Homo-oligomer: A and B are copies of this chain.
């Protein structure tokens, strides 16, 4: 299978899994969206679980690459962390798909057999906690403290991202737009406040 064919299949599968969840999408539905039969998809990925795994694996690769890029571009570890978090906040507001997919995976993976599929998060999280301990005032924090901080900040972003569709229903487009507009500034203030201790 050509590389860009594969990308196209994964794009569609990723979008649908994000929107409806693993159990909410059939392979036939994904194939339909692509103009194929479900057997064509099964031919390429073996079964539904493997297709889902391929989607997650690509996502995790992109994730780590993004983090590595920022690490390479910015020597100051404290600024690395801050700029990474702000970049993620901006990214996640613009495109909610991947946040939703990751959130679904957090909710579901305990039940799926190959839990291995999510352990890829470990190096990513460890890189982040390493960055925390490079921040002045946090050099003596233990693993648990650094991790709790990271998770609280990632949570602040992700939760909002995931909620956006619902918030449109609750508040309407205009009000949500103004909330969105004030989000990055608020979040930056939160990051600054959290890191300064």
Contacts and interface: CB of A to CB of B under 8 A. Distances in A.
A110 B156 contact: no
A83 interface: no
A102 to B, nearest CB: 10
Nearest to A157: B155
Interface in A25-79: none
A87 interface: no
A31 B147 CA distance: 40
A84 interface: no
B155 A103 contact: no
Nearest to A162: B106
A100 B110 contact: no
A189 interface: yes
A111 B155 contact: no
B107 A144 contact: no
Interface in A131-149: 142-145, 147-149
A66 to B, nearest CB: 19
Interface of A: 19-21, 23-24, 100, 103-111, 115, 118-119, 121-122, 125, 142-145, 147-149, 151-160, 162-163, 165-166, 169-171, 175, 178-179, 181-183, 186-187, 189-190, 193-194, 196-197
Given A24-B111, A109-B165, A193-B194, 15 more contacts: A21-B107, A110-B166, A110-B169, A118-B169, A121-B170, A122-B170, A122-B171, A148-B183, A148-B187, A149-B190, A151-B160, A152-B187, A155-B157, A155-B158, A189-B194
